[in-house]
Amino acid sequence: MKPLFTEREIRGVAIFLPLALLALGVALLARPRTDAGAAREAETNQRHATRRDTLRPKPFDPNTVSYEQLREMGLTQTEAASLVRYRSYDKIFRIPEDVAACYGIDDSLYRVLKPHIRIARRYTTAPQGYRPGRMVAEPLPPEQFRIDTVSARYLEAIGALTRQQARTFVKWRDTHPICDMAELHKCYAVSDSVATALEPYIIFSEREPAAPRYPIELNDADSATLLLVNGIGEKTAGRIVRYRERLGGYWRTEQLTEVEGMTESNYEKISAQICCDSCRIRKIHINFAPASELQRHPYLTPQLLRRILKTRQLKGGWSTPEAFNEDNRLKPGEAARLAPYLSFAPPGGDDDE
């Protein structure tokens, strides 16, 4: 009987089959993987984001936290019961990672809880020779505190700093006032991550204003500088500045008694803290100033202003204060207080210096 395949055909099949299987294996290995891994990773990230949104974690010790406290932080019944049940088997949380070993605490939940886990030192393995009496029995939940008066013991008790770090911080703070987060970050004993975690609880003291240099010059001071004078408030400071603009500057400190709301007793209180430089006053060119400029000055009453404008139109102006006073029939008191603000030279003349 004639065989179905020749010997040559059998040898060809024997060679072809291994090569075909090898090619198929290479093709399977080279084929792009499905996106199952990426999908699982995306699902995990989504689960982590969801847990961050639903949880309200607070600092806690897993060795003492209650079921009710865990529920308040947003854990489900199963998750909270799992952590509490873990302790019922006489197990102790020695390190934060032990929380992840609880049945029902998945990775997404653990990642959210980890920054808030505070394990008391009595539950950790103390080094040989450590004095248990100096251990902090329980980590205190952080509350708002003043950074300029907080003790090293408190910073250690809430688990923010070690004992040595807390002592170093207090020594540094006593010589470097801390009034904002930028100054806190400068302290080498406090890491950036700890400073950021403490920020919601810190109460900063107000920065002390620089000591004012007395006396304060009235014609150069702004409202903020005037507030440094004991006896001058915000309203009074604003009125002093506005009246100075109308006058053109203060010639004598006594002119403050003309400011609205300034009493004689209040002036006596602040008089020793102020002075004025009469060289800073702004003068009026009485022979050339327009009526709109003249009428703004508080010493030029409407009646006096009409006389000045009428006489100036007829005579063309004045060359001396005496002639001005005589023509406008000024009383001695009126002439004396108005004289420092009048210039009889043309604008830019010698009287302006």
**Would you say residue 183 has pLDDT above 70?**
yes
In a domain, 74, yes or no: yes
In a domain, 38, yes or no: no
**Would you say residue 281 has pLDDT above 80?**
yes
CA distance 107 to 84: 18
Mean pLDDT, to the nearest integer, of 244-252? 93
Q: What's the pTM value of the predicted model, to 2 decimals?
A: 0.43
**Side chain identity, residue 71:** R
In a domain, 262, yes or no: yes
Cβ contacts of residue 7 below 8 Å, gap of 6+?
none
Question: Based on the domain organization, do 333 and 296 belong to the same domain?
Answer: yes
Domain encompassing residue 92: 46-119
| Whether 142 contacts 198, CB under 8 Å | yes
DSSP 149-214: T--HHHHHHTTSS-HHHHHHHHHHHHHS---SHHHHHT-TTS-HHHHHHHGGGEEPPPPPPPPP-S
Domain boundary pick from 234, 264, 280? 280
In a domain, 70, yes or no: yes
In a domain, 26, yes or no: no
Question: For the purposes of burial, counting CB atoms within 10 Å of the CB of 271, is it exposed (0-12), middle (13-18) or buried (19 or more)?
Answer: middle
In a domain, 336, yes or no: yes
Tokens read off for 96: 């934060």
Phi, psi angles (nearest 5°) of residue 275: -155, 170
CATH number at residue 85: 1.10.150.320
The model's pLDDT over 8-20, given as tens digits with 9 standing for 90+, comes to: 777 776 777 777 7
Question: Based on the domain organization, do 113 and 79 belong to the same domain?
Answer: yes
CA distance 131 to 20: 74
Quote the pLDDT of residue 192: 87
Question: How many structural domains are present in the chain?
Answer: 4
In a domain, 124, yes or no: no
